[in-house]
Structure 1
Amino acid sequence: MALLVNIFALFFVFVIVNGDCGVVTKEQWDGLTPIRVEYLPRPVELVIIQHTVTSTCSTDARCAEIVRNIQTNHMDNLNYWDIGSSFVIGGNGKVYEGTGWLHVGAHTYGYNSKSIGITFIGNYNNDKPTQKSLDALKQLLRCGVERGHLTANYHIVGHRQLISTESPGRKLYNEIRRWDHFLNDVASIKN
């Protein structure tokens, strides 16, 4: 019985510390509460990858600071309800909760209510994504399928395929183009 209690306690601590899919929760990165939320129909079939065009980060403190600054800019200057991205990935290999799996984000005009937007911290026209950050994305996507947030046959696209932008940057775009779920021809999903 004591072993069972210890296993439950470890599981409980793991879930609390790591959140859903190992994501750093808003509470953990000191995020603001959204002004309003709109629920995202799930499972989602489309994942949009983008970048922040900021400096990169490699420490927990610096990555969390950048995520806070992005949220502040989105809410105070752009009048968004919350940070625009569903998730933000740092060079430290951690995934930060944005609007998350359940809520509509504000990352790609015309696609927000039918997609998950995942943003990498950095400028990937200049920088190469870290292996830790790429592994974090792959793990997040696997977990998203396992938890029913994403369809098993979801599609990954670069932000640049849907709107006029360089995002997610040439080097990150080149990386995701080689992945199994990458959708090269977006004609069927384009607004």
Structure 2
Amino acid sequence: MTLSFGVFLLISSVFCCCAHAGCGVVTRQQWDGLDPTQVEYLPRPLGLVVVQHTATPACDTDAACVELVQNIQTNHMDVLKFWDIGPNFLIGGNGKVYEGPGWLHVGAHTYGYNRKSIGISFIGNFNAKTPTKAALDAAEALLKCGVREGHLSRSYAVVGHRQLIATESPGRKLYQIIRRWPNYLEDIDKIKNNK
């Protein structure tokens, strides 16, 4: 009886972990992330994905990517006073996606758009170099899974961070790539915040 209950707990914890992050994402527990200081839920399905870069060094190993994600979270929470790490997801050169606020919670990636979009940040600076094929493939798989799981609408739009605020993000090379993605939105007049 104890064994059955133990197996039940194990299966339950795996299910809860997958239901929260899903899509093959490295959960915040797996990268040893800090708990957010506050949580606000996103409406779903969302129709906007903002692609950016971290403007940090890149990473191509699991250990290096975890260390960078932890450092970014520490900076965002301790220095910038965010509730959590800013982007909903971060993608390393190793082809792994790291959970930030995830599919369910508001991130802090693009001022004025956090409550109506998912922010995906590629780890590195992509002004002069392109992300790895593994990272680009991981982004594509994440977006497809987001639609399949009901987090993103089937008609979601992808924009570059620079289209919404004054920044170089997602970097010149990455921006050239996302402009060729099928869901890329060139004309942002309908989604642009009017201030």
Question: TM-score, length-normalised on structure 2?
Answer: 0.89
- Give the residue type in structure 2 aligned to 1:96: Y
SS in 1 for 2:34: coil
Is 1:127 the equivalent of 2:129?
A: yes
Aligned mate of 1:118, from 104, 117, 120: 120
2:164 aligned to 162, 165, 184, which one? Answer: 162
Cα distance in 2 for partners of 1:72, 1:119 equals: 16
Deviating 4+ runs (over 4 angstroms): 11-19
Distance 1:182 1:37 in 2: 29
The residue matched to 2:23 in structure 1 has which SS?
helix
2:8 is matched with which residue?
A: none
Following TM superposition, by how much is the alpha carbon of 1:128 offset from its aligned partner in structure 2, in angstroms?
1.0
What is the alpha-carbon root mean square deviation over aligned residues?
1.7
Partner of 1:8: none
The one-letter code sitting in structure 1 at the alignment partner of 2:180 is R
DSSP-derived class of the 1:80 partner: coil
Question: The residue matched to 1:28 in structure 2 has which SS?
Answer: coil
Residue 119 of structure 1 aligns to a residue in which SS?
A: strand
Equivalent residue, structure 2, for 1:153: 155
Secondary structure at the counterpart of residue 84 of structure 2: coil
Letter of the 1:99 partner, please give it: P
Q: Deviations over 1:104-142 (max 9, x none)?
A: 000000000000000000000022110000000000000
Identify the residue that residue 72 of structure 1 maps to in structure 2: 74
Q: Which residue of the partner structure matches residue 38 of structure 1?
A: 40
Distance 1:188 1:27, change over 3 A: same
What is the letter of the counterpart of residue 144 of structure 1?
A: G
User: Counterparts of 1:17 and 1:78 in 2: how far apart (Å)?
Assistant: 28
**CA displacement, residues 71-106 of structure 1 (integer Å, 9 cap, x when unaligned):** 000000000000010000000000000000000000
Deviation at residue 31 of structure 1 after TM alignment: 0.2
Superposition map of 1:82-97 within 5 A: 82-97=84-99
Shift of 1:60: 0.2
Paired residues in the alignment total 181
